Structure 1
Amino acid sequence: MDKLAAMQAFIAVADYAGFTAAAKNAENLRLSKAMISKHVQALENELGTRLFNRSTRRIALTEAGSAYLKGARQILNELGALEQRIAGFGANPQGLLKVLAPTSFGSFQLAPALAEYAELYPDVQVQLTLSDRPHGPLEEGVDLALHVGNLPDSSLVARQVAEVRLIICAAPHYFVRHGEPKQPADLAEHNCLRYSHGARKGMWLYREQGVDHQIRVQGDFEASTGDAVRMAALTGHGVAQLPSYMVRADLASGQLRATLEAYSPAPIPLYAVYAHRELSATVRIFVEFLEQHFHAQS
């Protein structure tokens, strides 16, 4: 039995919740449903236990299957990272680079930067995944993840590549109707448009006399992406606290207006996070590119 191929087949079935879906969607496998089933059966025979509970309607991991999935995924991710690091030592940037980034940052900042990167390094194919759920590079099988704010896992290796400024703003016609806050406490009288993900859910940052504070805000609108919060602010529905890169053009055009600027909080660090200190040339040069690119924009 090809143990690595069997692990890949097993992970695909778990990820796509079925043998047919795994054969259809797992592009890295290129195996038929029958061959995937054969690999999984071979694993179960060798392990002496079932990895999946099968029925006519659905397939689900057993307790043993869940444990094996976690270990198998980590083994394959570490093997892939090892191969990439060894192949990349002393080499020019090349091959596939998997990057994970927050949705709004990836859309507004990273995607445009990647066009410039592609011109400089045409032998690298970047696979960008955008998500606002908390991740770690090992769990997601990516080469590096971009993370805004404090790092949740101290075991990961990180390098700060930029800073993110937060701006409290609203559409001018909102201020005409509801007035403009003069101090953070006044936000209690305003409809605050909130971002529903992250550790600061429902909390906004501000700085007073050199000290950063948090204030709980309330409102009738909450969204899981910064894009949705921004659109609600543009319609005049309320006040939002958003990253400067999202609203820079809106502020310049007058569609949004900043407020409480005297209370602007300290910038939030943006980190490139990876699982290993020994980086391939491809990952190392990409991180250096990001640092230089965002420094030039600041």
Structure 2
Amino acid sequence: MDRVTSMAVFVRSVEDGSLAAAARHFGLSHAMVSKHLRGLEHSLGVRLLTLTTRKLVLTEAGENYFRRCAQILSDIEEANREAMQLQAVPRGLLRLTAPVAFGEQYLAPALADFLDRYPEIVLDVELTDRFADLAGEGFDLALRVGRLPDSSLVARRLGTSPMLTCAAPAYLARHGTPAHPSDLAAHRCLYLSSVTTPGEWWYEVDGGPVTVRVDGPLRTNSVALACQSAREGLGIVFGPAFALAQSVAAGELVPILADFASGALDIHALYLSKRHMSKKLRLLIDFLASHFARPVGTNGV
């Protein structure tokens, strides 16, 4: 039999001074209440109470056990109440991880708005370009841009970031501006191994998809390094708008091949399970989906 239920039946019987009253409280038969009490005594190997025609009499062991059980049941009730309050009023810690450039430029203002709305939630944010182990490292949520590894994690698409092809004005002045994706074969190209197939960029040409083979002096998984290298005039970069938009707005990079669509990278929220998801985590995911509804890196997102 369930030990906690048996303890609750024992405490109620003592408090009410009657097995019949305990039976009415729990909606049990008199025989079932007696069975719970006998089960406790059998498992403990001691007599807890003596039944007389007029009242229940606790033994010395029963008195000690009653006090401890009453405290344990009170602690359980308090724990249940606290857990339900966390669902009613979102509060407490959420741990999440996100890519560095995306987190610094676009996630930070979103989280500031979220915390203004839910001031009793505390966020612990780790920015890293590696794929974190959510369960092993204790994260509630991971945000990822681009290709997702095969895993058992639940993925929810939050939004997209268009792909841009850009170069520094100085590079274009020295090497010329490509007019067609096929011209990239003659240029120094910097590519992100974390978001594209190494050495392959993709465009729509004459209404159909075309993959262009590129080569150049730099291959990296760091969006920041690729962007900085392009600003320095090292070559042409192909990357998500969230990483390049600020440099374009500042005139440090110039978009090229704008007549040839190059698709977009998906932004996903990854988490362990939909079952028993905390209210605060659900609120955060819904908030981010709304915040990133527009393509990220365009129109000042």
TM range (shorter): 0.5 to 0.7
2:258 maps to 1:281: no
Of 145, 148, 168 in structure 2, the residue corresponding to residue 148 of structure 1 is 145
Q: Deviations over 1:186-229 (max 9, x none)?
A: 11111111224356233323223444443332111233311111
Pair 1:217 & 2:211 matched = no
The 1:294–1:171 alpha-carbon spacing in structure 2 relative to 1, beyond 3 Å, is same
Given the alignment of the two structures, is residue 171 of structure 1 paired with residue 149 of structure 2, yes or no? no
Q: Give me the whole-angstrom Cα distance separating, in 2, the residues matched to 1:140 and 1:107.
A: 21
Percent identity, aligned pairs only? 36
More off after superposition, 166-175 vs 147-156: 147-156
- Listed as ranges, the gaps of 5+ residues in structure 1 are 1-82
Partner residue of 2:240?
243
What is the TM-score of this pair, normalised by structure 2? Answer: 0.65
Counterpart Cα distance in 2 of 1:261 and 1:251:
13
Within the alignment, does 1:291 sit opposite 2:286 as a pair? Answer: no
With over 3 angstroms needed to count, the CA separation of the structure-2 counterparts of 1:94 and 1:136, relative to structure 1, is: same
Q: 1:166 to 1:96 in 2, by over 3 A?
A: same
Q: Which has the larger radius of gyration?
A: 2
CA deviation after TM superposition for structure 1 residue 154, in Å: 5.2
* 1:197 matched residue in structure 2: 194
Indicate which of 100, 106, 118 corresponds to 1:103. 100
Q: CA deviation at 1:89?
A: 6.8
Residue 99 of structure 1 contacts residue 145 of structure 1 at CA under 8 Å; is this kept in 2? yes
Residues 208 and 137 of structure 1: CA distance in aligned 2, closer, same or farther (over 3 Å)? farther
Deviations 1:86-113 (A, max 9, x none): 6687322211111111122112211222
Contact 1:87–1:280 (8 Å) recurs in 2: no
Gaps of 5+ in 2: 1-79, 295-299
SS at match of 1:165: strand
Q: 1:27-176 counterparts in 2 under 5 A?
A: 90-153=87-150, 155-176=152-173
- RMSD of Structure 2 on Structure 1 (CA): 2.3
CA contact (8 A) 1:168 1:259 kept: yes
Give distance in 1, aligned partners of 2:263 and 2:195: 18
AA at the equivalent of 2:115: A
What's the TM-score once normalised by structure 1's chain length? 0.65
Farther-moved stretch of structure 1 (156-165 vs 110-119): 110-119
